[in-house]
Structure 1
Amino acid sequence: MRSQSEPAAAEPGAIARPPLVREFLLVAGLFLVYKFGRQLATGHTAEALHNAHRIWDLERTLHLPSEVDVQSALLHGDTLVHLANTYYATVHFPATLAFLVWLYLKRPAHYVWARRVLALVTAAALVLPFTFPLAPPRMLAASGLIDTARVYGPSVYGPPSSDHLSNQFAAMPSLHFGWALMVAIGMIAATRSRWRWLWLLHPAITLLVIVGTANHYWVDAIIATAMLGSALALIRPQTSSGGTPTSLRSPHRTATTAVRGTRRLVAEEPALVGAGR
């Protein structure tokens, strides 16, 4: 019989929580790469604006919903558009960081899987600004959209010519949306509550915000979804020695369902916004 002073044996097949210091450095590195990596691809203003016209024309050819309809709904009141700008400026990083911290503390196996997926998506997203620089729709006069953050505040960007903290010509893909979708997928996979599908509200609101504030095109979110789907297909959950996923509740099935729902969301969200006007 084990005495009360003896530590309890580890659960068979359980995945140990990774070392805290190492994970802190890895996650901090991920955020720094995201924040500063795309600055290396600056200096392509003319090409970025040319690509913006191409994307705008492509969306019209594909009969995608107009970003103008979403922005028009936000502009019905100063409070609503201000909230959208605030969500864009303040939720992206803290929500993703809180997601990783919670998984690290409560679901170590999910944490390792989610961190690897986010790292791969972020690394892949850094390639596109070099190969396809893209100005956001707020800079495209032909779109008829306004820069809501500049007009109503708060804004996280300065004039492109003097903004040394970000590359504003790296609109594709939208990591705002890609990370938000991964947060939802991870939380749905990691929890049992019947309300867990409400986590999809985070990427849904993020999609509405990034389009309505003229920071991204629909295509930016579609490309981010495709990249996330590819990362989820490549990175498998950690397994126990018997090969059965440990503490993971069908994350790939969750991911597939969420990605399919996102595709419908891109097509249907403007209609839903219009119905509420």
Structure 2
Amino acid sequence: MNRTRSARLTRPTGWVAELTVFAMALLAYQASRAVVIGDAEDALRNTAAIVDAERAAGVFWEPAIQAWARSHDGLVPAMNQFYLLAHLPVTAAFFVWVYRRRRPAYRVLRDGFLAANAIALTIFVAVPVAPPRLASLPGLDDTLRTVSGIDLHGGPLSGLFNPYAAVPSMHFGYAALIGGGVLALSRNRVLGSLALAYPVVVFLTIVATANHFVVDAAAGGLVMAVGVGAAAWLHAHPVRLRRPAPVTSRGDWGRVALPALGGAAGLAGVALAQGAGNQPRATANRWRSASTFSARRACTNRSAIASSSGVAGACARAASRYQRAPS
């Protein structure tokens, strides 16, 4: 089998791994429903706090945006369908495009996307917030139910939505990632500029259908920015664990063993010098001098100290003793 055919057969393995990662992330998101669902009072209390904050800041625009959408025939039903059908397919198409056409940026965007979802899940659990359509606010209707006859809290669709996961709006977070990603990565400036229209349309849709507040959208964009920023920093500054290099070659063994043998030779020379004590003085001095020189070389070699500390220590003590010995 030639290399081209082999590469072609192994290429789908990457797709399988990536699909597995995204499937596990989706399962984790859906599993969070079991943790979050239950405390409606807390969720409505947090919703009231958001309304008060928006009114104080002058950004309680939700009733005006829904009124604007209702004033255009056919716009609200189209927004309802767009809200339900565009979110996940457009996101999937974006990641497929990045994976195939802009591979160097894929890992950073994927990891940032997953990190942002992890942050969002944490917030959903810690701070449940009901969407505007459940808050019975004047001037705001659940357009999915009143216009399109779709009840997100009953029937087969109820298991796909977290009723108290309004903050942050990951609808807008995903859209911000797609708009910014296409703008930054596309070589076609017209396409990049048009991509910025997508998060604008998503923002108008989620607010006009009373699924999110303005603050929810801002929080979703911030969470996505934090996730992608953290992923980009980690990819630029990878953590590398340093491990000691194993002794694998003959040259490595030589660097470890030779100094130890030198130390052993020094000790042997010292012993011989000891035995030469009854010989003429000049012969004993020559043995002592040679033994001390060999022991010194072994003991000053760092490899010998690192690999054979017992031998090196013994020869060092012997060398110093015979340096002090009277001739």
With normalisation by structure 2, the TM-score equals 0.64
Q: Take 2:74 and 2:34, find their aligned partners in 1: how far apart are those partners? A: 32
Are positions 1:82 and 2:77 aligned together? yes
Kindly state the Cα deviation for residue 146 of structure 1 after the two structures are TM-superposed: 0.2
The answer to whether 1:212 aligns with 2:191 is no
1:22 to 12, 17, 22: 17
- Quote the sequence identity (%): 32
Q: Does 1:179 align with 2:174?
A: yes
Change (3 A) 1:156 1:26: farther
Match of 2:232 among 236, 242, 251: 236
Report the equivalent of 1:202: 198
Q: Rg: which structure is higher?
A: 2
Q: Which has the higher contact order (CA 8 A, sep 6+)?
A: 1
Q: Does 1:38 align with 2:33?
A: yes
CA distance in 2, matches of 1:156, 1:140: 15
Is it true that 1:95 corresponds to 2:90 in the alignment?
yes
CA shift, 1:128, in A, is 1.3
How far apart, in 1, do the equivalents of 2:13 and 2:42 lie? 43
Corresponding residue number in structure 1 for 2:44: 49
**Structure with the larger helix share:** 2
Q: Using the alignment, how far apart are the partners of 1:71 and 1:136 within structure 2?
A: 14
What's 2:292 paired with? none
Q: Distance in 1 between matches of 2:98 and 2:34?
A: 30
Tell me the distance in 2 between the aligned counterparts of 1:221 and 1:70.
14
Assess, with a 3 A threshold, how the Cα gap between structure 1 residues 6 and 52 changes in structure 2: closer, same or farther. closer
Does structure 2 retain, via aligned residues, the 8 Å contact 1:74–1:81?
yes
CA 130–71 in structure 1, closer or farther in 2 if over 3 Å, else same: same
Task: State the secondary structure of the residue aligned to 1:171.
Answer: coil
**Aligned partner letter, 2:139:** G
Deviation of the 1:229 alpha carbon: 1.8
Shift of 1:77: 3.8
1:167, CA displacement in angstroms? 1.8
- Secondary structure, counterpart of 1:123 in structure 2: helix
- Deviation beyond 4 Å, 4+ runs, structure 1: none
Q: Is the 8 A contact 2:112 2:232 kept in 1?
A: no
Task: Indicate how the Cα distance of structure 1 residues 151 and 224 shifts in structure 2: closer, same or farther if over 3 A, else same.
Answer: same
Cα deviation for residue 224 of structure 1 reads 1.1
- Aligned-residue Cα RMSD (Å) equals 2.5
**For the Cα contact (< 8 Å) 2:109–2:228, is it kept in 1?**
no
Deviation at residue 37 of structure 1 after TM alignment: 2.5
Contact 2:153/2:163, CA 8 A, preserved across alignment = no
TM-score when scaled to structure 1? 0.75
The 2-side partners of 1:229 and 1:164 are apart by 28
Q: Gaps spanning 5+ residues in structure 1: where?
A: 8-15, 240-277
